[in-house]
A = this chain, B = another copy of it.
Amino acid sequence: MKTISTARAFAGTQGVYSHHSDVLDCDMNFAVFVPPQAKDGPCPVLWYLSGLTCTHANVMDKGEYRRIAAERGVILVCPDTSPRGEAVADEPDNWQMGKGAGFYLDATEEPWSAHFKMESYITHELPALIAAEFPADMGRQGIFGHSMGGHGALTIALKNPERFRSLSAFAPIVSPSTSDWSVPALTKYLGADQAAWRAYDACLLVEDGKRFPEILIDQGTADSFLQTGLKPWLFEEAVKGTEIALTLRMQEGYDHSYYFISTFMADHIHWHADRLA
């Protein structure tokens, strides 16, 4: 692991790091905020998965998470959204496919399967690095994310409920099998057989019996992607009658941007910190 930069912020440290990922077969950057409480011992880890077109930097710059993470003593890990570099397959004119659009899945179709193994990267390789390099209590992990990253958080937590104590999302893609945003990507990454898609669709995972005790979702009513890409009511429908306690908050007048995310970031970090204490 190489340190790209560190800076003091809210009495903690915001760092940017790079490492070679064997799983993704490329070099990757990620951001970690370590709160001041880390000097007294390991802190819980909260994973933030970003949306389409993002890198680690968007939430680091605009997410306004450091104040509350420092107050509550939570480490924030912000990975990139896809493999990177010259060798990685891409559709440069398509923001919903390839670089910046990894969808937190392990691709099985050529040419994508060579590098696009984001599920394995987020659930195995990067946690091992975080555990080795940071003052992290890996027994206390939470996960959240935005949009495509909300999809990542929901699907990864539903498949790994023993690993994560807390789960939330901002404007997540809850039904990528039916969303305009993701059907083309799932087809290319996973093939046309939709049976393979079920492991990467929060609604279908719940239908297939996956569970997580409590989930917080915030969704802006002025989000221009609400009707086409997001449709949180599908997830509300999916969890109905299950033991999943979903808190879905429709936030009047908010859009899909970091103005929305930063407004409710404190609520989400408190939600996680309460469950990671």
Contact = CB atoms under 8 A, between A and B. Distances in A.
Interface of A: 7-11, 14, 61-62, 64, 66-67, 220, 222, 253-255, 257-260, 262-263, 266
A11 to B, nearest CB: 8
A253 B12 CA distance: 10
A8 B253 contact: yes
A259 B64 contact: no
B66 A257 contact: no
A26 B258 CA distance: 30
A141 to B, nearest CB: 25
Contacts of A62: 61-62
Contacts of A11: 263
B257 A7 contact: yes
A260 B9 CA distance: 6
Nearest to A264: B10
A85 to B, nearest CB: 27
A253 to B, nearest CB: 4
B66 A9 contact: no
Contact of A8 (B14, B64, B255, B266): B255
A221 to B, nearest CB: 10
9 contacts: A7-B259, A8-B254, A8-B259, A9-B260, A11-B263, A61-B61, A64-B64, A66-B259, A67-B266
